[in-house]
Amino acid sequence: MRILIVGSGGREHALAWKLNQSPLRPEIFIAPGNGGTAEEGTNLPLAADDIPGIMDCVSRKGIDFVLPGPELPLVLGLADACAKAGVPCFGPRARAAALEGSKAFAKTLMREMGVPTAEFAVFSDHAAAVAHARARGAPLVIKADGLASGKGVVVAKSLDAALEALQDMMVRKRFGPAGETVVIEDLLVGEEASFLAFCQGETVIPLPAAQDHKAVYDGDAGPNTGGMGAYSPAPVLPESRQDDIVRTIIRPVLRKMRDLGCPYSGILYAGLMITAQGPKVVEFNVRFGDPECQPLLLRLEDDLLALMLACSEGRLREVRLRSSPQAAICVVLAAAGYPGGYPKGMPVSGIDAAQALFPGRLKVFQAGTKIVGKTLVANGGRVLGVTALGGDLAEARSRAYAALEKIRMDNSHFRRDIGHRGLRASPPDPGESA
């Protein structure tokens, strides 16, 4: 079986690594991939948003299964193109991927289905948006409707900041058409958690909860990034609450997607805020999170390929998912300056030495790397993620940080407090066995 993974991050390296453990022994191609995926299969020089190029490659290489990592190819219709070509694809069609591709669509659907989320209003007219913001008052969260590479959300503590964000998105069109419509919503207060599940039609198979660390610096200071680290399980969302999340959040969404004539298939990722009134949805993603994927796959005990094939072939209800009771953590090593401008080309060394410290329990997943001649060099903002298993979060964390000591790269930066909320939390409740 020939698999094409689309994307180039740590998530895609982790997916390739895990699929390579499948007894189905797939042959793996990655478009465009990175220095790490080159060790798992064949990198192909194709952009993740080049749908015609990807489909051409699918037919030329005789690809049997397509796995898009990021949201963009899904929102652009890669799953639809695969369906047309008769090639199975893991992930939703474009109309269902609108759950991530349009925040207005997702919010309106949640309101209709009574899914807990922040109060909101949608605007395409700048003057009306300004009037609403003034009437509602700060704090407010201003969101570009469409995809904006994770930069389209402004948490505005003052009215001035909210008005500035509206000006930026709707008048200066900083995000192009993605910001012509905005969602203005109330600020949610609490701790965030990532809840991911394999979904197909109305079948839901949850993964254990994870927690991401979006801010670039320790103590959650500095601007938001794609994610500087993640761990699982997340004590803030114990397994005992999984059924409630599925019942009140995931199933209503799947039911509505079915009623709209675009049944959902793939990973549905609910970004949650655990508020004093219970979990509320901050956003939906239609794919694995990066870096949440890395610790989740390290814990996954089943054959990922069998799970994905069951999902894309409409047999998800026939399979089970088991995760290791151990904890896993991923600490991201980034280029200094990220998420702003950053240098590239710095040699990266010590990965083998890092992995040799804890064989079978630690894996370095590469993201922004490439091989030049025989040297591995930095080629992106998030360069790699050191991902470790441990008997508990403290052990996983000390392994990851010990391994990071072995990795050498100039102009690099990592957070030293990944997992801090999980460590501070009281021991998990007795229902927690993930």
Q: Which stretch binds ligand AMP (CB under 6 A): 51-59, 76-84, 180-188, 352-360?
A: 180-188
Q: Which of residues 42-61 bind ligand GLY (CB under 6 A)?
A: none
Contact pick of 216, 282, 297, 328 for ligand AMP (by CB under 6 A): 282
Is 141 a residue that touches ligand AMP (CB under 6 A)? yes
Long-range CB pairs of 392-399 (<8 Å, 24+ gap) are: 392/326, 392/327, 393/231, 393/327, 393/329, 393/419, 393/422, 393/423, 394/423, 395/327, 396/231, 396/326, 396/327, 396/328, 396/329, 397/231, 397/329, 397/423, 399/357, 399/358, 399/361, 399/362
Is 249 a residue that touches ligand AMP (CB under 6 A)? no
Using CA atoms, how far residue 144 sits from 129, 175, 212, 326, in Å, is 12, 8, 22, 38
Q: Which of residues 211-250 bind ligand GLY (CB under 6 A)?
A: 212, 226-227
Between residues 58 and 290, which has the closer beta carbon with respect to ligand GLY?
290
Between residues 250 and 286, which has the closer beta carbon with respect to ligand GLY?
286
Is 291 a residue that touches ligand AMP (CB under 6 A)? no
Contact pick of 181, 203, 285, 312 for ligand GLY (by CB under 6 A): 285
Give the whole-angstrom CA distance, residue 284 versus residue 17: 26
Q: Which stretch binds ligand AMP (CB under 6 A): 83-91, 183-191, 403-411, 423-431?
A: 183-191
Q: Which stretch binds ligand GLY (CB under 6 A): 285-293, 370-378, 381-389, 416-424?
A: 285-293
Is 289 a residue that touches ligand GLY (CB under 6 A)? yes
Token couple for 96: 């269902």
Give phi and psi for 386, each to the nearest 5.
Answer: -85, 120
Q: Is the peptide bond before 238 cis (omega within 30 degrees of 0)?
A: no
Residue 12: closest CA among 51, 66, 79: 66
Size of the site for ligand GLY (CB under 6 A): 7
Helix H segments across 263-392?
Answer: 293-299, 304-312, 351-357
Between residues 29 and 288, which has the closer beta carbon with respect to ligand GLY?
288
Sign of the Cα torsion 397, 340, 10, 251 reads positive
220 residue type, one letter: D
Between residues 192 and 290, which has the closer beta carbon with respect to ligand AMP?
192
CB of 141 to ligand AMP, least distance (A): 4
Between residues 12 and 290, which has the closer beta carbon with respect to ligand GLY?
290
Is 118 a residue that touches ligand AMP (CB under 6 A)? yes
Helix (H), strand (E) at residue 366: strand 362-366
Sign of the Cα torsion 357, 20, 194, 147 reads positive
Q: Which stretch binds ligand GLY (CB under 6 A): 233-241, 287-295, 362-370, 372-380?
A: 287-295
Pairing of strands 191-200, 265-275: antiparallel
Residues 6+ apart with CB under 8 A from 352: none
Between residues 150 and 391, which has the closer beta carbon with respect to ligand AMP?
150
**262 contact choice in ligand AMP, ligand GLY, none (CB below 5 to 8 Å, kind-dependent):** none
Q: Is the peptide bond before 291 cis (omega within 30 degrees of 0)?
A: yes
Residue 323: closest CA among 294, 291, 304, 296: 296
Hunting for tokens 């478009």 — which residue is that? 31
Is 187 a residue that touches ligand AMP (CB under 6 A)? yes
Is 283 a residue that touches ligand AMP (CB under 6 A)? yes
Contact pick of 12, 145, 192, 292 for ligand GLY (by CB under 6 A): 292
CB of 320 to ligand AMP, least distance (A): 30
**308 contact choice in ligand AMP, ligand GLY, none (CB below 5 to 8 Å, kind-dependent):** none
Q: Which of residues 191-210 bind ligand AMP (CB under 6 A)?
A: 192
| Contact predicate 146/168, CB 8 Å | no
Q: Which stretch binds ligand AMP (CB under 6 A): 31-39, 55-63, 182-190, 197-205?
A: 182-190
Between residues 142 and 384, which has the closer beta carbon with respect to ligand AMP?
142
Helix (H), strand (E) at residue 52: helix 51-61
Between residues 23 and 135, which has the closer beta carbon with respect to ligand AMP?
135
Give the whole-angstrom CA distance, residue 215 versus residue 224: 4
Contact pick of 153, 321, 357, 371 for ligand AMP (by CB under 6 A): 153
Is 178 a residue that touches ligand AMP (CB under 6 A)? no
Residue 272: closest CA among 367, 192, 365, 209: 192
Sign of the Cα torsion 277, 278, 279, 281 reads negative
Residues that bind ligand GLY (CB under 6 A): 212, 226-227, 285, 289-290, 292
Residues that bind ligand AMP (CB under 6 A): 118, 141, 143, 153, 155, 185, 187-188, 192, 214, 271, 282-283
